[in-house]
Every structure is written in C-alpha cells, then in structure tokens.
Chain A
C-alpha cells in the first residue's frame, strides 16, 4: 500500500484529523483522478472484507466505519452480493472445465438396448476416450512448447533491453561523474583558505511496493535540523516498467516544490531507485507528496506512485 493509499484508507475509516481530511477533500473535488483512486480503494476494501481477506485489525476498523452507518452498510451489502455472485460464476466455470466429458457418453452407452449395440458403443467410447486423451496430451505438449519458446524469447529480449539500458546508464553516469569532477575542481579552485564545514545531509528512503497491501502506519518523517543543509530523498521501486520518469514534489495542499522530467532510475538488486537531492531550505515543516509518473512510449504520463512523508524542523 502506498502512502497515498494509507492516507485514503484512514480517510475512509474516518480516522484522519479534520485538517488532513479537509485537505484531501479539497483535492478530490478538484482532481478527478484522486476521487477515482479513493472510490476504487473503497471498492477494494469492501470486496476484500466480503471475501474475508482483511486482517483482524483492518476488519475491526472496517466494521467500525461501515456497519454503524446505514448508507455504508447498503454499499457493503451490495459488495457482498456482487462478490458472491462473481465468485459463484468463477466456481461454476472452473467446475465446468473440470467435469469429465465422458459421463454423458456412459449414460448413453448404458441406455442402449442390445448387447451388440452396447459392445459397439463401448468400443467406440473407449476409442473416443483414448483419442481424446491423446489429443489433450498433444495439445498440452504443444502449449508447453509454445510457452517455453515465448519464455525464451522474452528472456532474450529482456536481456538485450537490460544490456542497452545498462549501457545508457553507464554513459550517463560517466557524463555525470565528469561533470561532478569538473564542478569539484572549480569549487576547489575557488575555495577560500579556511575549509568550510561538511554539508549536513538529512536522508529519507521511500519504498514503492506496487501492490495494494494493507498497512496503516504514520507517514515516514524526515527531521531537518538547523545545521541541515541538504535533503536526500531516495525512492525505491520494485518494478521498472517505463523508459523514463517524472518526479514531482509538492506540499500537501500547497505549491509544487520540484519537478524533474525524463529521469532514468538507477538499477538496483531489488529493482530501481531514484535519488533526489535538494537544499533543506526548500522544504518547510508539513506533509509532502512525492509523485512518480512514467512516460509511456506515446509520451503520455501515467501515475506510478504517490508517497506521503512528513517534514519536521527542529
């Protein structure tokens, strides 16, 4: 569950303080995507509750919010009826697929009049069963072979893609290193005789899980002290699905502090990560949302994640 999902869950359960509640409401009244996200999250919570998939703690919170309110109870009843109906459809479809198709044939065989007819029908049925088994076996084998082939092709193209990306990344890292070295040289040359104190950096790591697991902790907090000069935000991704990304940092209910486009993440063992470094003076105390969007091949932007974190100044 992303931080944004977590905040929305608390809103749906009536657990947000009034100011945060109002902030989120203002947002979803003017941003249709936020409203859609909230409505979809509610639907998922209802379906998970109806299917008995909520943890006991979540279940208790859900019941507190939904069972005591007639309108919400109505929505829950609808959700329960719909999931029951859909699960029944799925179960029937599975049962239909698994039922032995020979059964009606046997019934027809036992219904025949003469022993000759029965023997002929029996032989035909056996032949038919054998033929069906062979056909099924052949079908399964060909499917397996197709899947293996597809897997191999996918692996090859993924490997090639990874290679290309690694080369690109290496090239950009080299360029960046050269740039930084030049910058460092310039800084050294311009430096005064007395050495400046080392820049104090406050860091925060945000993880984008990509899955809507249920988790309800407080937002992660970064503490900026008087001596802090820089803030380093690291955003870890488990899946790297886009060629490049946009990162935007915005105070909740406030202005956009930062917007960087066409970023490429650093590949890590567990996925990919972005590192943002910005002057501590750019952040004031309060809640911030770090929004990650991916560029589709068409150039359109698609929301990937929203991470909420809190800044405390001491």
Chain B
C-alpha cells in the first residue's frame, strides 16, 4: 500500500474539491471521514492507509489531466477497487501483519483486560477534559442514558440550543468521532512498548 499523501497531490486534490482553500479543507476532511468508515464497514484491515491510497490514486489521475466531475463518486469507485485488491491478495504482504496484530491483541486481552480498560478510561477522561466545556456538556447530555424518552430529550436539547434536530445529531456525532480518535491515539501511546 502507498505511503502518506504527498503535498503536491494534496494540493491538487484540494483544488479539485473547492476553489476556496478553507472550504476545500472541510470537504477533504468530510470525504476522508467517509472513506475511513467505508473501509471499516467493508472490513478492510487498514482503513487509514487505504484511504491515503485512494487519495493518492485519485490525485495521480488528476495529475494525468483527467477531469473528474464527481470527486466523491470517483473516490468511491477507487476505494471499492482497493477493497477488492486487499481481499484478492494484492496487499497480501499486509496479511501477516494483520494476523500478528490480532494475536497480540488477543493475548493482551487475555492477560490484562482490566488494566486495558483502566487505561482506556484514563484516556477518555484526559480527552474529555481537552474538549471545550460546552462540547463536553453537549456530548454528555446527548449520549447519556435515557431516563426520559431519548427522542424527546434530544428534541428539547435541540430547541434549547436553537438547532435543528438533524444538525444537533450531526454535531454530536462529529464530537464523538473526534473524541474517539483522541482516545484511540492516547490508548495506543499508553500501550506502546
């Protein structure tokens, strides 16, 4: 699989996403989020690497002068192809790594699952504290256990914040995803040998 996205390729991609660089950056983040989830949902072993590979291939096409009208749709087709390659064995050199990863995880779970959970909770606490207070409050209120009806509670929260329910749900999900990335990184750092 490919190395990280080159700066040149990244610039070309951004230009294709939107003429405004800031807006293009947002669109890139959105597309990246979709690609990572796509690979996860398809069960591919290295979603982030596959996502970089997708962007690399698309950027290469752009470099060759190919005009891409629907970038998201094009990325999907490329991502699907990469998935097929992964499962057909073009990325077989990653398979032993994957097995080793499984094995290590399984052993660690058996040996020290309590410590792992403790570390995870510590990371969660640390990452929650890094969030601004209002984001933390929104996360807690949105995802807390439903003492009242979940829909009603979220409706009331959206009204209180002056948001549409859909926008509130999207905001909460983005915050949660951000928190998950922070916790996962922190956890890997804590368990790294």
Which A residues are within 8 Å of any B CB, using their own CB?
11-12, 14, 22, 25-26, 28-30, 32-33, 35-36, 38-40, 43, 47, 51, 69-75, 77-78, 81-87, 89-90, 210-211, 296, 300, 302-303
Number of A-B pairs, beta carbon distance below 8 Å: 96
**Cβ contact within 8 Å between B34 and A28:** yes
Complex interface: chain B residues within 8 A of A78 (CB): 120, 124, 180, 183-184
Shortest Cβ distance from residue B101 to the other chain A in the assembled complex, whole angstroms? 6
Residues 157-180 of B, flagged 1 when their CB comes within 8 A of A and 0 if not, give 000000011100110010011011
Check B59 for interface membership: any CB of A closer than 8 A: no
Q: Which 10 A/B pairs are nearest by Cβ-Cβ distance? A: A29-B76, A29-B72, A81-B120, A86-B144, A71-B40, A78-B180, A87-B145, A30-B72, A36-B170, A81-B124
Known: A74-B184, A82-B143. 17 other contacts (CB 8 A): A12-B41, A14-B43, A25-B80, A26-B73, A26-B76, A36-B170, A47-B143, A69-B43, A75-B180, A77-B120, A78-B183, A83-B145, A86-B143, A89-B140, A210-B151, A302-B166, A303-B166
**Cβ contact within 8 Å between B124 and A82:** yes
- Would A70 and B120 be within 8 Å (CB), given that A25-B76, A82-B143 are in contact? no
Check B30 for interface membership: any CB of A closer than 8 A: yes
Q: Sample 7 A-B pairs with CB under 8 A, ordered by A number.
A: A38-B37, A40-B169, A43-B173, A47-B143, A83-B145, A84-B121, A85-B124
Check B92 for interface membership: any CB of A closer than 8 A: no
Distance, CA A269 to CA B177, complexed state (A)? 42
**Cβ contact within 8 Å between A302 and B80:** no
Check B70 for interface membership: any CB of A closer than 8 A: yes
Q: Which residue on chain B has the smallest CB distance to residue A30? A: B72
**Cβ contact within 8 Å between A302 and B164:** yes
Complex interface: chain B residues within 8 A of A81 (CB): 117, 120-121, 124, 183
Distance, CA A237 to CA B159, complexed state (A)? 23
Q: Which residue on chain B has the smallest CB distance to residue A84? A: B121
SS class, residues of chain B in contact with chain A = helix
**Please, how many residues of chain B have a CB less than 8 angstroms from a CB on the other chain?**
43
Shortest Cβ distance from residue A65 to the other chain B in the assembled complex, whole angstroms? 9
Complex interface: chain A residues within 8 A of B145 (CB): 51, 83, 86-87, 90
Distance, CA A300 to CA B164, complexed state (A)? 11
A35 partner, pick from B34, B70, B183, beta carbons under 8 A: B34
Check B38 for interface membership: any CB of A closer than 8 A: yes
Q: Which residue on chain B has the smallest CB distance to residue A211? A: B151
Complex interface: chain B residues within 8 A of A73 (CB): 105
Distance, CA A83 to CA B143, complexed state (A)? 8
**Cβ contact within 8 Å between A87 and B124:** no
Distance, CA A196 to CA B113, complexed state (A)? 76
- Would A70 and B105 be within 8 Å (CB), given that A26-B76, A36-B173, A39-B173 are in contact? yes
Shortest Cβ distance from residue A225 to the other chain B in the assembled complex, whole angstroms? 37
Docked complex: B19-52 residues within 8 A CB-CB of A: 30, 34, 37-38, 40-41, 43, 45, 47
Complex interface: chain B residues within 8 A of A211 (CB): 151
Shortest Cβ distance from residue A63 to the other chain B in the assembled complex, whole angstroms? 15
Complex interface: chain A residues within 8 A of B180 (CB): 75, 78
Complex interface: chain B residues within 8 A of A40 (CB): 169, 173
Check B93 for interface membership: any CB of A closer than 8 A: no
Shortest Cβ distance from residue A91 to the other chain B in the assembled complex, whole angstroms? 9
**Cβ contact within 8 Å between B144 and A29:** no
